[in-house]
Structure 1
Amino acid sequence: MSKPVILCVDDEPDILNTLKMQLKNEFKDNYFYELAESADEALDLIEDFQPETEVIVVVSDWLMPGIKGDELFMIVHKKYPQIIKVMLTGQADEAAVQRAFKEADLYCCLYKPWQSKDLIETIKSGLAKLL
């Protein structure tokens, strides 16, 4: 069986690379770490992986060109409700965050600049829900 995937979505490549580095430092080779620079790219990746390789966590920015993070999470939740969804944002609209909690089962919202330990603990506690 293939390793599960943690997918990070942000329109800033530097943010994506930092997320991947922090996750890989903690979780080593237990997961595949995929990066997407837009919600559309993220949705394509999720479709490509399922069902052979399970996407178990999506960490996404809110403010991105095209589809925003809350909308991405609502789309993902409709099709794959078991995916843990974490918003990581510097400028989320509070109404959008609340909508994501209510309509997309958002697990947590972290704010940029984030602390690596907060991100790791959030993902660990989210993964514990899956077990």
Structure 2
Amino acid sequence: MSEMAIVCVDDELSILKSLEIELIEAFEDRYIYEFAETANEALEIIDELEREGTRIFIIVSDWLMPGIKGDELLIRVHNKYPQIIKIMLTGQADEESIERVIKEANLYRCLTKPWNNEELVSTIENAQINTN
């Protein structure tokens, strides 16, 4: 089992299931995969993984979610764990929110829904190359 994790956050369970299938198909057991339906759940998962000594490699977050939106989540994650690579996966984020995450959370990439699986996989692979 890997000591690096990918955390996916989306309020739609079907999106999380699709991400799970695609990531496991592409990367098999290279990473630990965690999935959250809310920003608060994601923050709890990230803190728990960090306490256990698991390095979170990437967080993939939707933008439009109830409660805390994805831009705010990614900024909070960046402030606490700046080494985590941030990807926003959305069909509805406005330019202002995207710009804010780029500036305040060092957003690595913004992918639009419906996403292209090859683009998501290559984004993660390129992020891996760029962090080594």
TM-score bucket (shorter structure):
over 0.9
AA aligned to 2:88 is M
Runs of 4+ that moved beyond 3 A: none
Kept in 1: contact 2:2–2:30 (CA 8 A): no
Q: Quick one: percent identity of the two aligned structures? A: 53
The match for 1:113 is 114
CA drift of 1:40 comes to: 0.4
CA 1:2–1:119: 2 relative to 1, 3 Å: closer
More helix by share: 2
CA deviations 1:38-76 (Å, max 9, x no partner) are: 100000000001041111100000000011111001000
- How much is the aligned-residue C-alpha RMSD, in angstroms? 1.1
* Residue-pair matches, total: 131
The match for 2:16 is 16
CA deviations 1:69-108 (Å, max 9, x no partner) are: 1100100001111101000001001100010001100000
The match for 2:25 is 25
AA aligned to 1:6 is I
Kept in 2: contact 1:56–1:83 (CA 8 A): yes
- TM-score w.r.t. length of structure 2: 0.96
CA drift of 1:2 comes to: 5.1
Kept in 2: contact 1:84–1:127 (CA 8 A): no
Output the CA distance in 1 between the equivalents of 2:15 and 2:2: 26
AA aligned to 2:17 is N
Output the CA distance in 2 between the equivalents of 1:2 and 1:80: 19
- TM-score w.r.t. length of structure 1: 0.97
Q: What stretches of structure 2 of length at least 5 have no aligned partner?
A: none
